[in-house]
Amino acid sequence: MLLVGLTGGLATGKSFVGQELQKLGCHFIQADELGHQALLRGGEAYEAAVAEFGKDVLAEGGQIDRRKLGALVFAHPERLQRLNAIVHPAVRRREREIAADIAAREPDAIVVVEAAILVETGSYGRFDKLIVVVCGREQQIERAMKRSGLCRAEVEGRLDRQLPDEEKMKFADFVIDTSQSKAHTAEQVRSVYEVLRSVSR
């Protein structure tokens, strides 16, 4: 099995790249989705998150309101670090379980794991190959505002706290630029897939 990390800054198009790789035959795991599951009521990280951040982050019905939680942590690096320390172990455990299950069924599988801060946390070292997705800063801002409903200042604040693309690219085996059309991105993805497929075999 070939384990591939897929990362990049906010709203660079990581999920689109992952979905294109999935269409080509890769298995696609989104760490963000696993994190959401871990924070659901009854999830592995739920109790610890509520204990750490208080009941103010809860919506009606007792689920964690991720918007409230985000507002609480994203402006405070030390709080974000505490949240990551609660959520990331649960996410990594689940990733390993899913990847092991795939490997048992399909030894030459390509498993792609999308996660935002693989380089920042040093987690990129767990992967056989690393794909970094990039685009222009203005595109990131526009995409993030459109997708999340955040205002420009909130998006810029998040971007300013992320490692610049130039730094992430130093660790990349492949760089995919999503600043042009989706068709152009898909072509790059196919080229990367061909290399991954040859390596995995």
Claim to verify: residue 115 and residue 94 sit in the same structural domain: no
Claim to verify: residue 56 and residue 151 sit in the same structural domain: no
Claim to verify: residue 21 and residue 116 sit in the same structural domain: yes
Claim to verify: residue 113 and residue 188 sit in the same structural domain: yes
Q: Is 20 exposed, middle or buried (CB count within 10 Å of its CB: 0-12, 13-18, 19+)?
A: buried
Give the pair of three-digit tokens for residue 108: 């030459």
Claim to verify: residue 22 and residue 115 sit in the same structural domain: yes
- Beta strands 129-134 and 110-114, pairing class: unpaired
CA separation for the pair 201, 186 (Å, rounded): 22
Claim to verify: residue 187 and residue 119 sit in the same structural domain: yes
Claim to verify: residue 198 and residue 115 sit in the same structural domain: yes
What CATH number has the domain bearing residue 36? Answer: 3.40.50.300
Domain that holds residue 52: 31-106
| Domains of the chain: total | 2
Which residue, 106, 121, 147, is CA-closest to 3? Answer: 106
**Of the residues 106, 122, 145, the one at which a domain ends:** 106
Buried b (16+ CB within 10 A) or exposed e, 133-150: bbbeeeebbebbbeeeeb
The 10 Å Cβ neighbour count of residue 58 is 17
Per-residue pLDDT 10s for the chain (201 aa) are: 999 999 999 999 999 999 999 999 999 999 999 999 999 999 999 999 999 999 999 998 999 999 899 888 887 889 999 999 999 999 999 999 999 999 999 999 999 999 988 998 899 999 999 999 999 999 999 999 999 888 899 899 889 888 999 999 999 999 999 999 999 999 999 999 999 999 987
